Structure 1
Amino acid sequence: MKKNNISIVVFLFITFIMFMFIVYNTNFESKPVISGFEDKELIIKKPNSIIKYNSKDNDFMLDSDKTIYLSTDILSEDLGVKVHFDPRHNIAVITTLDRVIRFYGNTDKVKVNNKEADYIKSMIMNGEKPLIPINQIKEDLKIENKFFPETNTIVVKSLYDDEIIGKIDRDNVILKKDIKIWSKVIRGINKGEEVQIIGEADDWIKILTHDGKVGFVKKKLITNIEEIVGIKPEKNNPIWKPEKNKIILTWESVYSRNPDTSKIKDMDGLNVISPTWIHLIGADGKLNHNIGKDYINWAKKRGYKIWALFSNSFDPKLTDKFLNNSLARERVINDLLNLIKDNNLDGINIDFENVYLKNKELLVQFIREMTPVFHENNLVVSIDVTVIGGSDTWSRFLDRKALGEVVDYMAVMTYDEHWASSPVSGSVASIGWVEKSIERIIKEVPSEKLLLGVPLYTRIWTETPSRERANKMYVESRAVPMKNAMKILDKENIVKIWDEGAGQYYIAYIENNKLNKIWFENAESIKLKTDLVKKYNLAGVAAWRRGYETEEIWNIIDKNIN
């Protein structure tokens, strides 16, 4: 009897093993058990993976109208949406190349490009988390979303992402939770159903079904595998270019009043002028300007485009407070737009200098908020940047790559190689330094957006021996216009030497018992610099500043680049 019992146990065990082997490797004709959901689930589809959230995460919501709300973290980190949240004012701002969508917390107000948009639902604050309704703006955000009520599952993906899809090749294929033998059966999948492949494990493939179910099926049961390439990111091409020639821009330095235009001589080839008219003077976005009507009329008669320069007054504390205030940024954009339109100008030239490194992303955000609004009004947006390298507040605060993706043009200030307080004497813009600077920035910004900055000035360096330290010279400098510096060559006993490395003439002379040095900007040096415009296919030239030049310079620039 005991022996019979052992035989029965062995038989039952072998039968059970065989049964499980069949379960593991065979497709059932019967309907599988379907797992249920107690809470809603959000699935973010990625090219080779998924990201799951449940209702307890407080990162998404679904209202009674089936509108999907996603947190700003999910939008930015998982879906690549450019979104900024200002917790001080409870304002969320989404930017694309042609849209600025503003959500004002605790209100029903939503704006698109500064116009109220009542067709978009308002933002919801879930505790401290802002949740953005995506149904009405998904085309702007380039995302796709679906809700499956039978499983309480929301599936969202970025249209920029690639995906690998395949089809089930027979009916009643088992979708398992994982590849273990005891794994839970999620549901059956029928022949021809399209699935997204999100991973592999041995001879199993991890898939995402059309209704948001995630699980494993045998690799041999999927056919017609192909890669679907996502859409390509849009590029922001300049909204204006000269009809034939390159851009030749010069800045007009305006202080207390505008210049007497009757005294301004012809400037061959010039097609853009940028007067330093508008300045930020308040952290709340207050502006000061000295726009001149007579100057505008003069420029228009000559066919010049006018890009009014807007500066941050080179005040880092003021700039920090301003950039951190979303309401102030919005105010400035509106006020600038009104100034530009009311005076029939053609664009803006942004000159923010002496900015804290911590404001790097906020400066990009400000430009992203401004550009779509200006482009909607057919206005050019340009920005001035220093060369790569140097201090935090002079250079490192500039995210040139991110800025270059947004603006129409970027003027590279390829001068002040040796700046006013430089401890050693040297050229303002030696040709080798200028070319290396352009080569570096081209790696981050398209060449067709870059304007080569050229100085129409030089520096007179004065060196005095130290009476306290051996082999030490005290160095001072003063900037002088190109036309004034050239007069020094007329003095007696002045011998100019061509400095091959600098691409400039150099002189040294004694005056008042002090050694003076000058590296000249003149026709030869400007020609060498502007040769780089064609060599690197740059958009043109930006010269600082009008009134410093010698008469022949504009003709030389025009003939050299056009």
Structure 2
Amino acid sequence: MELERKKRYYGPPWLFFFLSLVVLLSFGAGLYFYPAFIKQSFETKLHLILEDKDLGRDKADVINGDVYLPLAIIREHLDENIFWEEDTGTVVVTTKDRVVRMATKDLTARVNSQEVTLQAPVIERDGVPWVPVEFLAPLYRVDINYFSDTGRVVITRLDKRQDIGRVLKEIKLRTAWGFRNPWLKELEPGAVVTVFEVNAGYARVRTKGGLLGYIPADSIHDKRTIVPESQEEPGAAKLWHPEDKKINLTWEFVTGRNPDTTKIPQLTGVNVVSPTWFYLSDSRGNIANKASSSYVSWAHRQNYQVWALFSNDFDRERTHAVLTSAGKREQVIDQLLVYASLYQLNGINIDFENVYLKDRELLVQFVRELVPLAHQQGLVVSIDVTIKGGSANYSLFYDRKALGKAVDYVILMTYDEHWASSPKAGSVASLPWVEDGVRGLLEDVPQEKLVLGVPFYTRLWIEKEAEDGSLTVKSQALSMNAAERLLEEKGAEVTHDNAAGQHYASWQQGDIVYEIWLENEESMRQRASLVKKYGLAGIASWRRGFEKSSIWQVIDEELKRN
């Protein structure tokens, strides 16, 4: 028997049309408003947040509750000078008043040569050093927090103003301004946010958990601004500088015995003496010492500061061996500070010359490690540099800008334009050459830190033509008095070399020609006038004993015009 098929009733046609229209409209509205109703989820992998910037994932880690950052991130965003010594696995951090040394896997760090215990050590991961950054947070003046619920590590700079507020009512934190954009989180009434900028009625904010986004600006109330406290600590030591005067330094060249101070004449206007007492004696980081307590006592009775000179003895191999080792650098610094305390010095003058170009950054690091500890003892730190030139070992190895930031003063040695073995006779320091050198260094060093170094010596040039027509050139250094005696003896006529800005003399004996560019009262007055012209910190002279007695009065008079 055939079953009877049941009839299905779908209702009137108009009802089908109406329902279809509702579905289509709902679908279209959903497409239009979809982002506003969908909560965008965030990743649980750690994000590093610096103020209002999301630096991305894998830029931070938390190990046993301690926040770690890779050294490259610290260097890029917090401390461009953080130093990594790969051979010893040592991280070195230098600030104005601290030197911190942290060795890999070691829970003991050294802060200004004092041992402190760390909560977490430096680690290496695939050859990359990761640093427990919370220990360094006070040095960088930052606040660091980890929020496990949002997967954010948040760094807040304490040296910048912060605008804080609370939300009035429940509000959605969106990825961009405008209510159609996806939202990250519903903020409850009273939630605290940090406000960075306001645009088109929306404020870019950061939540307590480190989420960055946008909320309507008018939803924020109880706004207040946190102003950073002064960075300078109360009672911080003030370094010496001549009040209402310029620095007038002269170097005391000490080869063996120190000079008999009873025979040193009055040095009118001088306020700093720099005896050449210390130098690297070997590649192990030992320092040779020629200091004299009696000389220091004499200098202090004359109201002179004593900035002892420390040199690398012009030995680039020895210098390289020391600079490449964090331990040897520290050993050198410790010795200098002990000597400074023992002899009651007022400063250290660094004179490193003939250094490999490859050690350029290491020299800067050595200076950065020395300066905070020297300042802790109230010592002034200066460094000598040459005029900019093309020599790798005598000019290019100086990172003048970085050194200028680290030290108190940079002394520009405006000599030798024509050096002892120059193939061509000429001035030790013609005035145009000196002035060009000053302008060049001012591109890297602030004028208030720049001290003009001037020569008290000249060179007698001896030229002889060989049978083949070639010219042999030799020279010998002369003091001002020795040069004048020689001219008087030879009866040489003195003229003025306008190009050099100096007095000049020449004479001939047989087939030998003698030439000399003089240093005297006129040349010194013109050099000293550059201090005023460029607003420099002062003048330094190489070296005491090569000058005429009248020179001190000339320099002092010119500096007083400043």
TM class by shorter-chain length?
A: 0.7 to 0.9
Secondary structure at 2:385 match in 1: strand
Matches within 5 A, 1:65-80: 67-80=66-79
Matches within 5 A, 1:132-211: 132-159=131-158, 171-177=169-175, 185-189=183-187, 193-197=192-196, 208-211=206-209
Q: Distance in 2 between matches of 1:228 and 1:361?
A: 38
Q: In the alignment, what sits opposite 2:28?
A: 17
Cα deviation for residue 549 of structure 1 reads 0.9
- Of 550, 553, 560, the match for 2:551: 553
1:203-233 CA deviation, whole Å, 9 max, x = no partner?
9886543321234667898899999998999
Q: Figure out how many residues of one structure are paired with residues of the other and give that number.
A: 546
Cα deviation for residue 520 of structure 1 reads 0.2
Q: In the alignment, what sits opposite 1:305?
A: 305
Cα deviation for residue 132 of structure 1 reads 2.5
Q: In the alignment, what sits opposite 1:63?
A: 64
Q: Distance in 2 between matches of 1:489 and 1:556?
A: 22
Percent identical among aligned pairs is: 36
- Of 24, 45, 50, the match for 1:44: 50
Q: In the alignment, what sits opposite 2:318?
A: 318
Cα deviation for residue 405 of structure 1 reads 1.6
Matches within 5 A, 1:461-476: 461-465=461-465, 467-468=467-468, 473-476=471-474
Q: In the alignment, what sits opposite 1:35?
A: 41
Q: Is the 8 A contact 2:246 2:537 kept in 1?
A: yes
Q: In the alignment, what sits opposite 1:511?
A: 509
Is the alpha carbon distance of 1:208 and 1:20 closer, same or farther for their aligned partners in structure 2, counting shifts above 3 Å?
farther
Is the alpha carbon distance of 1:508 and 1:282 closer, same or farther for their aligned partners in structure 2, counting shifts above 3 Å?
same
1:270-290 CA deviation, whole Å, 9 max, x = no partner?
221111111112233111122
1:51-95 CA deviation, whole Å, 9 max, x = no partner?
1233xx6x532433xx32222222111223531111211211111
Cα deviation for residue 355 of structure 1 reads 1.3
Q: Distance in 2 between matches of 1:224 and 1:474?
A: 84
Q: Distance in 1 between matches of 2:510 and 2:379?
A: 52
Q: Is the 8 A contact 1:153 1:211 kept in 2?
A: yes
Secondary structure at 2:439 match in 1: helix
Q: Distance in 1 between matches of 2:305 and 2:168?
A: 67
Q: In the alignment, what sits opposite 2:101?
A: 102
Cα deviation for residue 172 of structure 1 reads 4.1
Is the alpha carbon distance of 1:341 and 1:168 closer, same or farther for their aligned partners in structure 2, counting shifts above 3 Å?
closer
Matches within 5 A, 1:257-268: 257-268=257-268
Q: Is the 8 A contact 1:138 1:144 kept in 2?
A: yes
Cα deviation for residue 489 of structure 1 reads 2.2
Matches within 5 A, 1:432-443: 432-443=432-443
Give the aligned residue type for 1:43. I
1:91-118 CA deviation, whole Å, 9 max, x = no partner?
1111111111111223221121111223
1:180-225 CA deviation, whole Å, 9 max, x = no partner?
999754212356753455899x998865433212346678988999
Q: Distance in 1 between matches of 2:112 and 2:526?
A: 43
Secondary structure at 2:417 match in 1: coil
Q: Is the 8 A contact 1:459 1:479 kept in 2?
A: yes
Give the aligned residue type for 2:385. V
Is the alpha carbon distance of 1:5 and 1:475 closer, same or farther for their aligned partners in structure 2, counting shifts above 3 Å?
farther
Secondary structure at 1:110 match in 2: strand
Q: Is the 8 A contact 2:412 2:452 kept in 1?
A: yes
Secondary structure at 1:239 match in 2: coil
Secondary structure at 2:527 match in 1: helix
Q: Is the 8 A contact 1:196 1:209 kept in 2?
A: no
Matches within 5 A, 1:293-442: 293-442=293-442
TM-score scaled to structure 2, two decimals?
0.86
Q: Is the 8 A contact 1:276 1:309 kept in 2?
A: yes
| Mean CA deviation greater in 6-15 or 304-313 | 6-15
| Mean CA deviation greater in 94-103 or 431-440 | 431-440
Cα deviation for residue 396 of structure 1 reads 1.6
Q: Distance in 2 between matches of 1:362 and 1:77?
A: 19
Is the alpha carbon distance of 1:535 and 1:183 closer, same or farther for their aligned partners in structure 2, counting shifts above 3 Å?
closer
Q: In the alignment, what sits opposite 1:541?
A: 539
Secondary structure at 1:489 match in 2: helix
Give the aligned residue type for 1:499. D
Q: Is the 8 A contact 1:238 1:408 kept in 2?
A: no
Cα deviation for residue 36 of structure 1 reads 5.8
1:386-443 CA deviation, whole Å, 9 max, x = no partner?
1123312211211222212221221110121222222322211122221222122223
Give the aligned residue type for 1:464. K
Q: Distance in 1 between matches of 2:227 and 2:424?
A: 55
Q: Distance in 2 between matches of 1:121 and 1:372?
A: 25
Q: Distance in 2 between matches of 1:335 and 1:540?
A: 29
Q: Distance in 2 between matches of 1:512 and 1:105?
A: 71
| Mean CA deviation greater in 425-434 or 256-265 | 256-265
Secondary structure at 1:543 match in 2: strand
Q: Distance in 2 between matches of 1:203 and 1:275?
A: 67
Q: Is the 8 A contact 1:110 1:120 kept in 2?
A: no
Matches within 5 A, 1:229-240: 239-240=239-240
Cα deviation for residue 33 of structure 1 reads 4.5
Unpaired segments ≥5 residues, structure 1:
none
Is the alpha carbon distance of 1:225 and 1:475 closer, same or farther for their aligned partners in structure 2, counting shifts above 3 Å?
farther
Q: Is the 8 A contact 2:319 2:355 kept in 1?
A: yes
Secondary structure at 1:331 match in 2: helix
| Mean CA deviation greater in 286-295 or 324-333 | 286-295
1:136-167 CA deviation, whole Å, 9 max, x = no partner?
4312112221222322321114445688x687
Q: In the alignment, what sits opposite 2:57?
A: 53
1:226-255 CA deviation, whole Å, 9 max, x = no partner?
999989998999711124432211111111
Q: Is the 8 A contact 1:85 1:93 kept in 2?
A: yes
Q: Is the 8 A contact 1:353 1:394 kept in 2?
A: yes
Q: Is the 8 A contact 1:166 1:223 kept in 2?
A: no
Q: Distance in 2 between matches of 1:347 and 1:473?
A: 46
Unpaired segments ≥5 residues, structure 2:
1-9
Give the aligned residue type for 1:497. T
Give the aligned residue type for 2:51. K
Q: Is the 8 A contact 1:284 1:325 kept in 2?
A: no
Q: Is the 8 A contact 1:329 1:366 kept in 2?
A: yes
Give the aligned residue type for 2:519. E
Secondary structure at 2:489 match in 1: coil
Cα deviation for residue 453 of structure 1 reads 0.7
Q: Is the 8 A contact 1:271 1:304 kept in 2?
A: yes
Q: Distance in 2 between matches of 1:476 and 1:122?
A: 60
Larger radius of gyration: 2
Secondary structure at 1:490 match in 2: helix
Q: Distance in 2 between matches of 1:325 and 1:196?
A: 46
Cα deviation for residue 295 of structure 1 reads 2.8
Is the alpha carbon distance of 1:308 and 1:328 closer, same or farther for their aligned partners in structure 2, counting shifts above 3 Å?
same
1:505-551 CA deviation, whole Å, 9 max, x = no partner?
00111134211111100011101111112222222211001111111
Secondary structure at 2:545 match in 1: coil
TM-score scaled to structure 1, two decimals?
0.86
Q: In the alignment, what sits opposite 2:5?
A: none
Secondary structure at 1:82 match in 2: coil
Q: Is the 8 A contact 2:35 2:181 kept in 1?
A: no
